[in-house]
């Protein structure tokens, strides 16, 4: 009987395991996961820390027992794959509970080791009281500690950084954010990110923007200050929100080829450079559908799709993963932020002849109560009028509009096409002239 070994039991790993087993019920499938959970949602950790989610287990989609009994998949948590011998198709696994190691063979191997938090190489980073957040166990530790302190410093203003800021501020703590540029720098142009800065200030977050981290001061082994190029900031604990990097340590040891982004290079079928070995999820390099160049974007929807496609192909299929647009959302207090495709800055750096339009428009008909102001930016190619990217902020209606724009970019629509989209209208949901069409109309005048 053929055997699939999956290294990592989060989104991509479990999606691949489940799909492969469904497509080929005779395939033996084993999953080894270092943490104590599989099929979990790390994106939900800030809401657990804040208290919106009361039980950590609520962040799991399916239990280990479900996969074992209902799906026939041998899932083992607190088991770490320590080495792989591709020439012999052999895997060595360590039981992290009792310390014992054992080996098993495979016909197919899936690397779903995911991402790991970026930890800065600065003095004092190993101090007690500095936390990175990636696994559910990380979230549990942070919540317990944060409840006991008064001042929390967050270093890094990416997605996890701003979400943790909001979560801890709502716990009643004093919170400060240190960021070397501006919040969500990798995802938004500064004019859009100003909305994020404004809501952070309105919610009493102390901002230290355009400050570069230099080190951490400590006393008796515990962090006491965040030190930047502009000063020292007193804290009780620190949360690192500098982003995620691909966890490719095992892949490198095996001799798997990496791409130019530092993540694992795969073909459209999710196969690596080694025969019989696939990779999927936050450890994998993707193709950006606008630039057609490699990019590393560790987002859950892509990881799940990669996992399903890899599982289908391991079971004998020929499915292809086409790429990503980087469509994403984040909620910062009551501000909803969404983006897709390229920012204006990214489009310029990629060599496009770009043009952009920026408007503010109501989310509902002006006379219907409860409407919110939407801030919309569209980016297009002046040469062929194709939509390249978009960003939207507001208090409601952001997700639907950004997803519409993602579909437009995916389908290669032009600005002219966008002005003619048959979007729905009803006063409680949208004005008769939706903000997307208004923004496209403004942009069209500049082409």
In the chain, the domains with their CATH numbers are: 3-114+245-314 (3.50.50.60), 119-242 (3.50.50.60), 334-444 (3.30.390.30)
For residues 114 and 12, the answer to whether their CB atoms sit within 8 Å is: yes
Residue 63 φ/ψ, nearest 5 degrees:
-90, 165
The rounded distance, in Å, linking the Cα atoms of 400 and 183 is 23
pLDDT at 1: 80
Question: Which are the catalytic amino acids?
Answer: 43
DSSP annotation of 242 reads S
Would you list the DSSP string of 41-86? -GGGHHHHHHTSS--GGGGBSS-HHHHHHHS--EEEESEEEEEEET
Residue 131 φ/ψ, nearest 5 degrees:
-125, 135
Residue 304 tokens read as 């799940």
pLDDT at 41: 87
Nearest to 143 by CA among 221, 51, 241: 51
Q: Which residues pair with 374 in a beta bridge?
A: 361
The rounded distance, in Å, linking the Cα atoms of 228 and 237 is 16
Per-residue pLDDT in tens (0 to 9) along the chain, 447 residues: 899 999 999 999 999 999 999 999 999 999 999 999 999 988 999 999 999 999 999 999 999 999 999 999 999 999 999 999 999 999 999 999 999 999 999 999 999 999 999 999 999 999 999 999 999 999 999 999 999 999 999 999 999 999 999 999 999 999 999 999 999 999 999 999 999 999 999 999 999 999 999 999 999 999 999 999 999 999 999 999 999 999 999 999 999 999 999 999 999 999 999 999 999 999 999 999 999 999 999 999 999 999 999 999 999 999 999 999 999 999 999 999 999 999 999 999 999 999 999 999 999 999 999 999 999 999 999 999 999 999 999 999 999 999 999 999 999 999 999 999 999 999 999 999 999 999 999 999 999
pTM for this entry: 0.94
The rounded distance, in Å, linking the Cα atoms of 371 and 107 is 56
């Amino acid at each position: 009987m053929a055997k699939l070994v999956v290294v990592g039991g989060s989104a991509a790993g479990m999606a691949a395991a489940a799909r492969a087993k469904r497509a080929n019920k005779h395939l033996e499938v084993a999953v080894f996961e270092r943490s104590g959970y599989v099929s979990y949602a790390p994106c939900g950790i800030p809401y657990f820390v804040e208290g919106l989610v009361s039980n950590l287990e609520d962040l799991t989609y399916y239990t280990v027992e479900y996969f074992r009994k209902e799906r026939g998949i041998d899932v083992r948590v607190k088991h770490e794959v320590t080495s792989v011998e591709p020439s012999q198709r052999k895997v060595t696994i360590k039981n992290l509970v009792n310390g014992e190691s054992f080996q098993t063979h495979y016909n197919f191997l899936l690397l779903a080791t995911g991402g790991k938090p970026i930890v800065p190489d600065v003095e004092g980073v190993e101090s007690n009281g500095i936390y990175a957040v990636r696994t559910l166990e990380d979230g549990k530790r942070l919540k317990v500690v944060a409840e006991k302190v008064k001042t929390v410093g967050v270093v890094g203003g990416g997605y996890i950084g701003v979400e943790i800021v909001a979560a801890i501020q709502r716990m009643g703590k004093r919170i400060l954010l240190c960021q070397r540029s501006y919040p969500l720098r990798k995802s938004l142009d500064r004019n859009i990110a100003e909305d994020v800065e404004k809501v952070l200030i309105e919610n009493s977050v102390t901002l230290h923007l355009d400050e570069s981290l230099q080190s951490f001061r400590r006393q008796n082994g515990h962090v006491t200050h965040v030190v930047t190029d502009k000063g020292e900031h007193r804290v009780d604990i620190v949360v690192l929100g500098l982003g995620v990097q691909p966890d490719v340590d095992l892949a490198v040891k095996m001799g798997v080829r990496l791409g130019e982004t530092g993540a694992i290079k795969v073909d459209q079928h999710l196969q690596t450079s080694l025969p019989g070995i696939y990779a999927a999820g936050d450890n994998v390099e993707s193709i950006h559908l606008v630039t057609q160049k490699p990019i590393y974007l560790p987002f859950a929807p892509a990881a799940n799709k990669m996992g399903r496609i890899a599982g289908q192909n391991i079971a004998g299929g020929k499915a292809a993963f086409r790429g990503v647009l980087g469509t994403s959302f984040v909620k910062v207090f009551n501000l909803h932020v969404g983006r897709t495709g390229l920012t204006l800055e990214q489009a310029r750096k990629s060599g496009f002849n770009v043009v952009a339009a920026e408007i503010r428009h109501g989310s509902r008909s002006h006379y219907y109560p409860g409407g919110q102001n939407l801030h919309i930016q569209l980016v297009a190619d002046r040469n062929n009028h194709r939509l390249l990217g978009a960003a939207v902020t507001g208090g409601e209606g952001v997700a639907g509009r950004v997803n519409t724009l993602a579909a437009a970019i995916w389908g290669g629509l032009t600005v002219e096409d966008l002005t003619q989209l048959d979007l729905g209208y009803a006063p409680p949901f949208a004005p008769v002239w939706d903000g997307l069409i208004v923004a496209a109309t403004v942009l069209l005048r500049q082409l």
